[in-house]
Structure 1
Amino acid sequence: MSEKKKAAIVIYPQFSNYEISIISAIFRAFAKEIIVFSADRSVVDSEEGFHFIPDKTLSEFVLEDYDCLILPGMWCFPDVLKDSRYIDFFTQFKDKNGIVIGSISSSPILLAKAGVLNGRKFCAGLFEEDIDHYDFINKENIIRAPLVIDRNIITAMGSAYREFAIEIGRKLNFNCGEEWFSGIRKPIRSEDYIFYRNHK
Structure 2
Amino acid sequence: MKKTAVMIYRAFCMQEISCLTDWMVGLGKLMIVCAADRNPVKTEEGFTVLPDLCYEELDLDEIDCLILPGIAEFPEVLKDRRQLDFLARFKDRSDILIAAISVSPVLLGAAGLLENRAYCGGFYQEVLEDLPFMQKANFRFEPIVEQDHIITAFGGAFREFALLVMQRFDFDLPKNTFGPLEEHWSKDKLTFTMESEAERNYWETALAMLKHECPQFFELSDKA
Q: TM-score, normalised by structure 2?
A: 0.79
Asked if residue 16 in structure 1 is aligned to residue 17 in structure 2, the reply is no
Q: Look up the SS of the partner of 2:71 in the other structure.
A: coil
Q: Which residue pairs with 2:82 in the alignment?
A: 85
Matched with 1:107 is: 104
- After superposing on structure 2, the runs of 4+ consecutive aligned residues of structure 1 that deviate more than 3 Å are none
- Aligned equivalents of 1:140, 1:176: Cα separation in 2: 34
Listed one character per residue, the Cα deviations across residues 168-200 of structure 1 (whole Å, up to 9, x for unaligned) are 00011111221111159xxxxxxxxxxxxxxxx
Matched AA of 2:84: I
Paired with 2:123 and 2:53, the residues of 1 have a C-alpha distance of: 29
Tell me the residue number matched to 2:3.
6
Does the 8 A contact of 1:15 with 1:47 survive in 2? yes
1:137 Cα shift? Answer: 0.9
- Which has more radius of gyration? 2
Report % sequence identity. 41
2:171 to 171, 174, 181: 174
**d(CA) in 2 for partners of 1:97 and 1:176?**
25
Q: TM-score, normalised by structure 1?
A: 0.88
Matches within 5 A, 1:111-130: 111-130=108-127
Figure out how many residues of one structure are paired with residues of the other and give that number. Answer: 181
- The SS at the match of 2:132 is coil
Corresponding letter in the other structure for 1:104? I
Structure 1 match to 2:91: 94
CA distance in 1, matches of 2:180, 2:153: 19
Offset of residue 74 of structure 1: 0.7
Is 1:32 paired with 2:32?
no
Higher deviation after alignment, 142-151 or 87-96: 87-96
How big is the shift at 1:95?
4.1
Name the aligned partner's letter for residue 150 of structure 1. Answer: Q
Secondary structure of 1:136's counterpart equals helix
For the Cα contact (< 8 Å) 1:95–1:116, is it kept in 2? no
Q: What CA deviation, in whole Å up to 9, does each residue of 1:63-84 have, x standing for no partner?
A: 1100000000110100011000
Cα distance in 1, alignment partners of residues 110 and 143 from structure 2:
21
> Within 2, Cα distance between the matches of 1:154 and 1:95?
16
Which ranges of structure 2 fall in alignment gaps of 5 or more residues? 182-224
Q: 1:41 aligned to 38, 43, 47, which one?
A: 38
Q: Distance in 2 between matches of 1:134 and 1:111?
A: 13
Which consecutive residues of structure 1, in runs of 5 or more, have no partner in the other structure?
185-200
Task: Please give the root-mean-square deviation of Cα atoms over the aligned residues, in Å.
Answer: 1.2
